[in-house]
């Protein structure tokens, strides 16, 4: 009598998975999303949102299902429904228009972006010309430049821009930065500017937001010891794109930006023994959990959490939503 051995599924290949800490939502993103959720709860649907509240497709789609309507400009909003301004901040002309139309508006601008706006106004009032380090067209940059009259701010994107910049007249100079930049790239640009204009103040650690800095430091640690780093985030998320760049510079053999587990090409993991996973500041933790589960489904995964900064920052919601 022949005994048939049961057919066993192919053994899963072992894989070490390192999860970055911190990762995902920051306090400013969490606050902005809560503002939309609570506005819908308090005022009913629809609630209009000028631009994407944060740069993450999954967040935007979930809020849309709850009753948020995302628009490019205020002229697409009716006067009698609430409108929320995105976490990236807006030019001064936007709330001015909302007030002139007697609209109910809620400002979800991240408080750390608002801090940059306040500093820009302070420098302008002191007669300084402001150099803004950032990416042209990004909503945060548009919002910051829109705090002051045209010509008051010069945008610098690269070291080459810094080398080519000409001081307008004899105005004293000051600088500000987009909050989601690469810490190292910004330092390089500032170095070029300070060499040419020594009167510029030394950079402060808080010039780029704490969450961006912490997530980049965490991904540097991944990059030093991982064959591949997967960054969960949307293509239009500046801080997520920067994490991919930082991982490569730190030594990762490869790094990829993915919207979610469904966008992973599993051939990327051929030959990978250590995988790093992190997420941009606007990516929900559930997307990380789904990605880790998808990895476990395919590999004998040993998942370890990296040590990193523990964030305790929180930002208050507008009083109108809490009373």
Annotated catalytic residues are 140
**Rounded to an integer, what distance in angstroms lies between the CA atom of residue 51 and that of residue 67?**
15
Contact 258, 288 (CB under 8 A): no
Torsions phi, psi for 296 (to 5 deg): -60, -35
**Rounded to an integer, what distance in angstroms lies between the CA atom of residue 283 and that of residue 33?**
11
How far out from the chain centre does Cα 293 lie?
24
Residues 22-52 as b/e (b if ≥16 CB within 10 A, e otherwise) read bbbbbbbbbbbbebbbbbbeeeeebbbbbbb
Residues 138-161 as b/e (b if ≥16 CB within 10 A, e otherwise) read bbbbbbbbbbbeeebbbbbbeeeb
Which spans in 44-92 are helix H? 57-66
Look-up: residue for tokens 């997967």? 230
Q: How far is CA 316 from CA 31, 69, 108, 243, in A?
A: 7, 24, 11, 27
């Amino acid at each position: 009598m022949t005994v048939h051995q049961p057919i066993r599924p192919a053994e899963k290949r072992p894989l070490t998975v390192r999860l970055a800490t911190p990762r995902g939502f920051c306090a400013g993103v969490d606050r902005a999303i809560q503002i939309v959720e609570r506005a819908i709860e308090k005022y009913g649907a629809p609630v209009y949102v000028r631009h994407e509240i944060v740069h993450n497709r999954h967040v935007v789609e979930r809020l849309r299902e709850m009753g948020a309507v995302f628009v490019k400009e205020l002229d697409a909003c009716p006067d009698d429904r609430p409108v929320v301004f995105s976490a990236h901040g807006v030019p001064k002309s936007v709330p001015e228009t909302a007030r002139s139309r007697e609209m109910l508006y809620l400002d979800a601008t991240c408080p750390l972006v608002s801090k940059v706006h306040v500093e820009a106004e302070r420098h302008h009032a002191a007669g300084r010309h402001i150099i803004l380090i950032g990416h042209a067209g990004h909503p945060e940059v548009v919002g910051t430049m829109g705090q002051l009259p045209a010509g008051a701010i010069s945008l610098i994107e690269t070291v080459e821009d810094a080398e080519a910049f000409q001081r307008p007249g004899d105005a004293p100079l000051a600088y500000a930065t987009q909050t989601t930049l690469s810490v190292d790239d910004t330092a390089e640009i500032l170095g070029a500017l300070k060499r040419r204009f020594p009167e510029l103040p030394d950079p402060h650690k808080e010039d780029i937001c704490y969450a961006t800095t912490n997530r980049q430091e965490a991904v540097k640690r991944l990059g030093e010891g991982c064959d591949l780093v997967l960054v969960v985030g949307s293509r239009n998320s500046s801080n997520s794109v920067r994490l991919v760049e930082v991982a490569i510079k730190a030594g990762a053999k490869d790094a990829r930006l993915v919207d979610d587990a469904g966008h992973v090409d599993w051939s990327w993991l051929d030959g990978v023994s250590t995988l790093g996973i992190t997420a941009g500041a606007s990516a929900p933790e559930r997307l990380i959990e789904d990605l880790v589960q998808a990895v476990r489904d395919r590999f004998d995964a040993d998942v370890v959490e990296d040590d990193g900064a523990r964030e305790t920052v929180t930002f208050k919601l507008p009083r109108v939503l809490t009373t």
